[in-house]
Chains A and B, each alone.
Chain A
Amino acid sequence: MADLLPTPYELEVPDLSLIPDEPPAAILYQHKVKMRTAVRTLWDHREIIYTLAERDFRAQYKQATLGVMWAVLSPVATLVIFVAVFSRVKQFPTQGIPYALYAFVGIMCWNFFASSLGNGGNSLLSNKALLAKTQFPRECFPLETMLVNALNTVISFIPLALLFVIFGRAPALATVWVPLFMLIEVLFAAGLTLAVSSTIIQMRDLQQVLPIIISLGIFVTPVIWPFSFIPTNFHLFGGTHLAHHWVGGITVNLQVVYGLLNPLGPVIASIRQTMLLGQAPSWAPLIAAVVGACGYLFFGYRIFKRFEVNFADIA
């Protein structure tokens, strides 16, 4: 029972002259977070992600007269512009698919990616007040922003369905694979968003550069052009074509290389192949995309965890 009694407190006045100028090297703090622990902690806090996403989603439409209707209306408006514009401009070969439909699939995927990166990249800065005062895992902010964007993307399936109706088509049976392709995109976007958001805090220059990169990205990614524009066998190191014999050089499947670097390409291509054409996706680039996306996620998360040590100090 003795330890239940209140301990008498002694007044302690430490000798300040004994405190060195610098801490001994032995006790310096090393911020090491095991990936497994980090993921488990994040999972324990998943409710916070939902709640923050709900906050953003609600706040987005709070004082608008039409409210949540806008979530549906704005993609429909994009769609109208699409049909109007793309039925007049020079079109890329689409294997008989109406170009508006063909491009819309690309734009839908791109919008999710671009808004995740754009908003998610800035999410730590825009949540500065919470970042400096509360303690849950910091990944919640970029991931929460992505969740909101995912929700908006799901809503944009409504105008996509309308497009199918307008052009009198039906999505192929292979559409059931689409969620899987979307998952690859989510992994990729999450990895990049985590890396960018944590880097932006350290180096605000990136905040200015990011929109430029994103607006360039739409042309680098097969959003409005077909993925098949990228050659499958490309001769490196001066390989010459002599009567069907390769002399020297190496042949590279550029689609695979592209998929590793930008998993979004094969993702969009695969969605088009399955949903619009009812074909099987080209596996090689798709597998490359999976590997690439996982790599982005792994290293993105590592970078984030490494940088998080001083978020609250410099945000």
Chain B
Amino acid sequence: MPTLPDGSIRVEHVWKKFRSDKTVPLFYEQMVRLRRSVGTRGKSGYRWVLKDVNFDVQPGESMALIGVNGSGKTTLLKILSQVTFQSAGSCTVQGRIGALLSVTSGLHPDLSGRENVFLYGAVLGMGRADIRRKFDTIVEFAELTDAIDRQVKFYSMGMQMRLGFSIAAFLEPDVLLVDEVLAVGDANFQQKCLQRIGEIVREGTTLLYVSHDLASVEASCDRAVWLSDSMVRAQGPTAEVVTMYRTAVEQHSALLTTKEGTVEVLKAELRATDGGQLRSECEAEVRLTLKAPEEVMAGFYLGISQGTAFPMFVIDHQTTMPAGEFEVVCKLGYLPLPKGHYSLWTAITGHPRGTKDPYLPWQPLLSFEAFGPDRMDPPEGVMALSPVYVGAQWQIH
């Protein structure tokens, strides 16, 4: 077999099973295991958390793993970093692996920040001399110059996280595996982390990135693999895979709307006022036909999202809601969306943050395509949170 160049990852038909979540006493299970190992082999209590996963990553590429909780992302990273082993298939990572599976698990609470830099650095695979050389950079990056001789148990959560990430950020591996570690930490530090990850990738490190934060995935990865129910559902360019993922999440979350409101939606429609396609910057209107049991004061909410329950923007209007069947028309003077797939959400409540149940709980009504220019890319290392399109004229004098 030809050896792969440093920094490449090859995953071929990887399967992983975990023991099933039975609650029988372990003793019983041991007896069963014993009997099975003596007698014939039978199928027993386990479940597959990864099924036939295949992908390749070339040196210097950055790839994201996305998927809902429990879809096997972390397990895959653990197999790649050899923390655990696959049950079947083969998986090769060439070169030095830097695995950042958790930011703070390597820190010892009783030791000082300084001692922890050396400890965690060594645990992650850095040599002592190496750490000594980078010590000042690490501490400065973590913004902990004043607190470095304090015991880590007296650090705040954010400080611990900053220390952990900073140590890992200066590892210089061939392959960097990052698992959802930016979730803590304030906005400033998150920004700094993303920038640092961008820098690492530019220096030629292969990146495999797991995150639920799709904006940061789009900001830092060329490719994405979508894991769902332990299988690869799609892989390819980040934007396309992320769109597929969002659509699936949206369909799922529509099913999750459990509470029934008292208001019924009979018809919902979103169209361009001139009757044409929905385009960026066009004038659009939302038409809802609703049926309400009684006349009350109510707030109407409309939001547009990219597949999740979190909208990019919300429009609201407080008014009297008539009883019986009625139509609501909302004119949007300007559709601030780049090309893409979106969904329209709505809710009707009695009070803005009411104590009563809403008349109509927040739910997606319809999804639509918007045509127009592609979303503009932010500079490297910057997350664009909402894909909002703003037409602009540039002049350079």
CB within 8 Å of B: which residues of A?
6-7, 9-14, 16, 19-20, 23-24, 27-29, 31, 47-48, 51-52, 54-55, 58-59, 62-63, 129-130, 132-136, 203-204, 309-314
A146 and B233 CA atoms in complex are apart in Å by: 47
Restricting to B217-238, which residues have a CB under 8 Å from any CB of A? 222-223, 231-237
Kindly state whether residue B115 has any CB partner on chain A within 8 Å.
yes
16 contacts between A and B (CB under 8 A): A6-B222, A9-B236, A12-B234, A16-B233, A19-B52, A19-B231, A23-B87, A23-B88, A29-B90, A51-B119, A51-B128, A59-B111, A134-B124, A135-B81, A310-B85, A313-B19
In the complex the two chains form, is A133's CB within 8 Å of B106's CB?
yes
A-B pairs, 3 with minimum CB distance? A11-B236, A23-B88, A51-B122
CA distance A135 to B96 in the complex (A): 11
Residues B109-167 near A (CB distance < 8 A)? 110-111, 115, 118-119, 122-125, 127-128, 151
In the complex, A315→B223 CA distance in Å?
A: 33
Q: Are A132 and B233 in contact (CB under 8 A)?
A: no
Q: Are B83 and A58 in contact (CB under 8 A)?
A: no
**Across the interface, do A29 and B122 meet the contact criterion of CB distance under 8 Å?**
no
Interface residues of B (CB under 8 A from A): 13, 15, 18-19, 26, 30, 51-52, 54, 58, 78, 81-90, 97, 99, 101-102, 105-106, 108, 110-111, 115, 118-119, 122-125, 127-128, 151, 222-223, 231-237, 240-241, 244
Beyond known contacts A14-B231, A55-B108: 11 more, CB 8 A cutoff = A7-B58, A10-B236, A11-B234, A27-B15, A28-B87, A47-B127, A51-B119, A132-B105, A133-B83, A134-B105, A134-B124
Most interface-central of B15, B231, B244 (chain A CB within 10 A): B15
When the two chains form their complex, are residues B87 and A29 in contact, meaning their CB atoms are under 8 A apart? yes
CB neighbours of B58 from chain A (8 A): 7
Q: Are B90 and A136 in contact (CB under 8 A)?
A: no
Contacts of B105 in A (CB 8 A): 129-130, 132-134
Minimal beta-carbon separation of B46 from chain A (angstroms): 10
The distance in angstroms between the C-alpha atoms of A130 and B101, with both chains bound, is 10
In contact, A27 and B88 (Cβ under 8 angstroms): yes
Bound state CA distance, A9 and B240, in angstroms? 10
The reply to whether B101 and A133 contact each other, CB–CB distance below 8 Å, is yes
A7 and B123 CA atoms in complex are apart in Å by 35
Task: Identify whether the interface residues of B are mostly helix, strand, loop, or mixed.
Answer: mixed
Q: Which of A11, A47, A55, A312 contacts B84 (CB 8 A)?
A: A312
Cβ of B123: which chain A residues have Cβ within 8 Å of it?
48, 51-52, 130, 134, 136
Q: What is the CB-to-nearest-CB distance from B202 to chain A, in angstroms, rounded to a whole number?
A: 14
A132 & B13 in contact (Cβ 8 Å cutoff): no
Are A310 and B84 within 8 A (Cβ)? yes
Q: Is the CB of A55 within 8 A of B222?
A: no
Q: Provide the bound-state CA to CA distance between A20 and B51, in Å.
A: 8
Alpha-carbon gap, A16 to B105, bound state (A): 36
- The interface residues of chain B lying within 8 Å CB-to-CB of A55 are 108, 111, 115, 119
Chain A residue with the shortest CB-CB distance to B90: A27
Known: A11-B237, A133-B102. A23 touches B52 (CB 8 A): yes
CB distance from B206 to the nearest CB of A (A): 14
Name the distance in Å between B14's Cβ and chain A's nearest Cβ.
9
**B-side contacts of A62, CB under 8 Å:** 110-111, 151
**Closest Cβ neighbor of B89 among chain A residues:** A27
- Inside 8 A of B122's CB, which chain A residues have their CB? 47-48, 51-52
B61 to chain A, nearest CB (A): 8
* Chain B residues in 8 Å Cβ range of A309: 85
Q: Name A18's closest neighbour in chain B (CB-CB).
A: B52
B197 nearest CB across to chain A (Å): 18
Most buried by B among A6, A12, A52, A314: A12
Residues in chain A near residue B222, CB distance under 8 A: 6, 9
Q: Which residue of A lies closest to B118 (CB)?
A: A51
Residue from A16, A134, A312 within 8 A of B106 (CB atoms)? A134
| Known contacts A11-B237, A31-B85, A133-B83; is-contact A59 B52 (Cβ 8 Å) | no
A9 contacts B83, CB within 8 Å? no
Alpha-carbon separation in the docked complex, A130 to B99 (Å): 12
Cβ-defined contact, A313 with B84, below 8 A: yes
Q: Which residue of A lies closest to B230 (CB)?
A: A19
Chain A residues in 8 Å Cβ range of B240: 11
A70 to chain B, nearest CB (A): 15
Chain A residues contacting B244 (CB-CB under 8 Å) are: 13
Asked whether, in the complex, the Cβ of B85 is within 8 Å of the Cβ of A11, the reply is: no
| CA A55 to CA B107, docked complex, whole Å | 10
Q: Are A130 and B231 in contact (CB under 8 A)?
A: no
Q: Give min CB distance, B134 to chain A, whole Å.
A: 16
Inter-chain CA distance A51–B126, complex, in Å, is 11
User: Which of B81, B119, B237 has the most chain A CB atoms inside 10 A of its CB?
Assistant: B119
**Which of chain A's residues have a CB closer than 8 A to the CB of B151?**
62
B244, chain A: closest CB distance, angstroms? 8
Query: By CB atoms of chain A within 10 A, which of B82, B86, B123, B124 has the most?
Result: B123
A28 to B90, CA, bound (A): 9
Chain A residues positioned under 8 Å from B108 (CB to CB): 55, 59
Of the candidates A9, A14, A62, the one having the most CB atoms from chain B within 10 angstroms of its own CB is A9
For residue A12, which residue of chain B has the nearest CB? B235
A11-B236, A62-B151 known; A130-B106 Cβ under 8 A: yes
Does A58 lie within 8 Å of B115, measured CB to CB?
yes
